[in-house]
């Protein structure tokens, strides 16, 4: 028997310079679609108005201590809308992969831009994921990375990303009311008016 419930709609917006954050966004989208949600995933420069979706996930790579250009602006521009939509924020950087005494200290710190955006959007949750760390050409940057104890390579923890996507799906399924299509419609009635045009 066909279900009369529509899928919940989710927008995933990401900012990515080299592609690792984009892949996390696409991965989360696939995971959430497999769970029955209707998910649109877009880079921030093509992202639509979040007000057209029931829930939103926002994620950016961290470069030089901040989000990528345009990402914080998007959150600021739609802050009022985002405050009225359940939304979640993630960052992708070296943080979770830092090791050693200096690394352990910096690992505990949340970049100020994360706190600002989380407050602006009233995000329900935040995760910092490790990204892909490539050996930089500049000696100074290589020394900093060594000081922080960060290894090179693809450090993404797909199990942690999967678990977070599933947490968001559970929240949406539990907290958002099911959207129901009109139960019946007289096939002879061809007018599109009140009561016939879509979900109540
Ligand atoms: C120029 C540059 C600056 C970076 N600055 C930071 C930083 O300040 N903090 C951090 O945790 N990671 C930093 N990283 C690591 C990136 O966040 C990481 O490589 C991430 O996976 C990049 O995401 P993307 O592939 O989506 O662009 C930097 C990387 C580059 C290339």
Nearest-CA residue for atom 1 of ligand 1: 63
pLDDT band at residue 5 under the 50/70/90 scheme: low
Pocket flag, ligand 1, residue 132 (CB < 6 Å)? yes
3-state secondary structure of 88: strand
Gap between the Cα atoms of 38 and 53, Å rounded:
10
How far, in Å, is the centroid of ligand 1 from the Cα of 94? Answer: 7
Stretch 81-87: mean pLDDT, rounded?
A: 98
Spell out the residues 6+ positions from residue 122 whose beta carbon is closer than 8 angstroms to its own: 82, 83, 87
Helices marked H in the chain: 20-34, 71-77, 79-83, 100-107, 112-121, 139-147, 158-175
pLDDT band at residue 2 under the 50/70/90 scheme: very low
pLDDT band at residue 181 under the 50/70/90 scheme: low
Residue 12: count of CB within 10 angstroms of its CB: 25
Tell me the pLDDT of the chain averaged across its residues. Answer: 90
Gap between the Cα atoms of 27 and 46, Å rounded:
18
Nearest-CA residue for atom 5 of ligand 1: 63
- Tens of pLDDT, residue by residue over 90-137, are 999 999 999 999 999 999 999 999 999 999 999 999 999 999 999 999
Q: Would the pTM of this model clear 0.95, i.e. be above it?
A: no
Task: With beta carbons less than 8 A apart as the criterion, state whether 39 and 71 touch.
Answer: no
Share of the chain above pLDDT 90, in %: 84
Gap between the Cα atoms of 96 and 51, Å rounded:
32
Pocket flag, ligand 1, residue 20 (CB < 6 Å)? yes
Angle at 91 between CA 35 and CA 44, to 5 degrees: 75
Pocket flag, ligand 1, residue 109 (CB < 6 Å)? no
Task: Report pLDDT for 180.
Answer: 57
Residue 147: count of CB within 10 angstroms of its CB: 14
Q: Say which residue the tokens 């020394």 belong to.
A: 143
Task: Report pLDDT for 132.
Answer: 98
Task: Report pLDDT for 178.
Answer: 77
């Amino acid at each position: 028997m066909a279900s009369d419930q529509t899928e919940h709609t989710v927008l995933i917006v990401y900012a990515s310079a080299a592609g690792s954050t984009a892949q996390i966004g696409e991965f989360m989208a696939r995971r959430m679609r497999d769970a029955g949600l209707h998910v649109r995933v877009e880079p921030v420069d093509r992202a639509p108005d979040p007000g057209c979706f029931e829930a939103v996930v926002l994620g950016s790579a961290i470069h030089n201590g901040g989000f990528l250009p345009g990402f914080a602006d998007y959150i600021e521009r739609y802050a009022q809308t985002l405050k009225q939509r359940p939304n979640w924020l993630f960052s992708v950087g070296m943080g979770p992969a830092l090791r050693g005494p200096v690394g352990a200290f910096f690992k505990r710190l949340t970049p100020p831009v994360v706190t600002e955006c989380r407050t602006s959007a009233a995000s329900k949750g935040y995760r910092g994921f490790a990204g892909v760390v490539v050996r930089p050409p500049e000696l100074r940057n290589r020394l900093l990375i060594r000081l922080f104890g960060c290894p090179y390579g693809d450090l993404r923890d797909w199990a942690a990303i999967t678990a977070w996507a599933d947490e968001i799906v559970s929240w949406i399924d539990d907290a958002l009311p099911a959207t129901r299509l009109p139960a019946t419609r007289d096939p002879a009635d061809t007018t599109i008016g009140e009561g016939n045009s879509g979900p109540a």
